[in-house]
Amino acid sequence: MSTSNSSQYASRFHQGQGFYSFSLGNLTVTSVSDGFLVFDDPQAALAPKADSQEFDTILRKKFLSSDTAYTHINTLLIEGNGKKVLIDNGCGDSLGPSAGLLVKHLANAGVKASEIDIVLVSHAHPDHIFGTITRTGEHVFPNAHYMISKEEWDFWTDPNIKISSPFGDEMARAAILGAQRHLKAIEDRVSFFDSEQEIMPGIRAIRAFGHTPGMMAFIITSNRKRLIYTADALHHFVVTLARPDWELGVDNDPVEAIVTRMRLLEKITSVEAPLVHVPHFPFPGIGHIREEHAGYVWEPVVWEW
Ligand SMILES: [Zn+2]
């Protein structure tokens, strides 16, 4: 076995605890983990109306249990054109010690929170925007400008907002109060963008309404290489792909979310087959999706140090 080629890589490890880095054209892209959460009743979150036996069978075929579901929280750091852009900022200190690890994992990747120029927010759920300020109100990313869709901003800041949650009324209330608190904190440092608009060079938003009323996915392009950040249009790496037509308990409008999911999956499985980053798929949440039978299958990237 020859090891002669390995010397060129020896001084350049791209991965470490909680981060996974690679090149996309001229950009450096890093999946940064915020940690994980566990759903105690996965079916209520992922497929409340589905036949339980089919739900179990789909998971069992992949040697997974239907008793609990392990949910990763992956954010995405994009470095290039002199900017550091973070897509979503995790859940901060809102969801217990297994999550809220983003700043620590960014530091492992050699990036300080103060170096983040822009936080691009896909939607205002706790695990995507509650990393904005600490319990005492200090900004976690003190120099960051924030960007979010106007539809998402208007929905959460409406004083008459109502949502339901598969995790109960208390969680729904905490989600609303938390979103309002974090959005209020950025009102003097936020701007809005539209779908299909180039937000900054190489980053375009795709309308992905349904999971929340103003959620956006993103297409990142550099030198003809493409990556799609799906936001929560996809949720579980096995169930949501095997049965993308199933309504999810975590979706605000499950029917609209299915239309969004199908449209996005069509784009992802086009001839071009872009790389995909999914916040809740197993870390680093980067890979490809291909069609199989009536559904889809996740093909994660092969880990490279
Ligand atoms: Zn989420």
Residue 225 Cα to ligand 1 midpoint, Å, equals 26
- Please report, as a single letter, which amino acid is at residue 96: G
Q: Which of 15-24, 164-173, 210-219 is predicted least confidently? A: 164-173
The pLDDT-based confidence of 205 (bands split at 50, 70, 90) is: very high
CA 159 to chain centre: 27
- Helix boundaries (H) for 47-114: 52-61, 102-108
Please tell me the predicted confidence (pLDDT) of residue 195. 86
Most confident of 10-19, 265-274, 280-289: 280-289
CB 213 within 8 A of CB 201: no
Mean pLDDT score across all residues of the chain: 93
CA 111 to chain centre: 19
Residue 55 Cα to ligand 1 midpoint, Å, equals 21
Residue 161 Cα to ligand 1 midpoint, Å, equals 19
DSSP state of 223: T
Residues with CB under 5 A from ligand 1 (ion): 127, 232
Residue 5 Cα to ligand 1 midpoint, Å, equals 40
Please tell me the predicted confidence (pLDDT) of residue 19. 96
Residue 165 Cα to ligand 1 midpoint, Å, equals 13
Q: Is 90 exposed, middle or buried (0-12, 13-18, 19+ CB in 10 A)?
A: buried
Other beta carbons within 10 Å of 143:
14
Please tell me the predicted confidence (pLDDT) of residue 13. 63
Checking if the pLDDT of 3 tops 80, the result is: no
The DSSP string of 268-280 is: HTSTT--EEE-TT
The DSSP string of 10-29 is: HT---EETTEEEEEETTEEE
Q: What is the pLDDT of residues 128-174, one digit of tens each?
A: 999 999 999 999 999 999 999 999 999 999 999 999 888 888 989 99
What residue segments make up the domains of the chain, in order of their start?
A: 16-300
Nearest by Cα to 297 from 248, 234, 246, 251: 234
Q: What is the pLDDT of residues 252-262, one digit of tens each?
A: 999 999 999 99
Please tell me the predicted confidence (pLDDT) of residue 11. 45
- Read off the tokens for 46: 């992922």
Residues 53, 66: Cα–Cα separation, whole Å: 10
The strand pairing partners of 217, in sequence order, are 206
Residue 299 Cα to ligand 1 midpoint, Å, equals 21
Checking if the pLDDT of 10 tops 50, the result is: no
Residue 202 Cα to ligand 1 midpoint, Å, equals 24
Residues 95, 278: Cα–Cα separation, whole Å: 20
Residue 231 Cα to ligand 1 midpoint, Å, equals 7
Q: Which CATH architecture has domain 16-300?
A: 4-Layer Sandwich (3.60)
Checking if the pLDDT of 83 tops 80, the result is: yes
Residue 279 Cα to ligand 1 midpoint, Å, equals 7
Average pLDDT on 65-79 reads: 94
Residue 72 Cα to ligand 1 midpoint, Å, equals 9
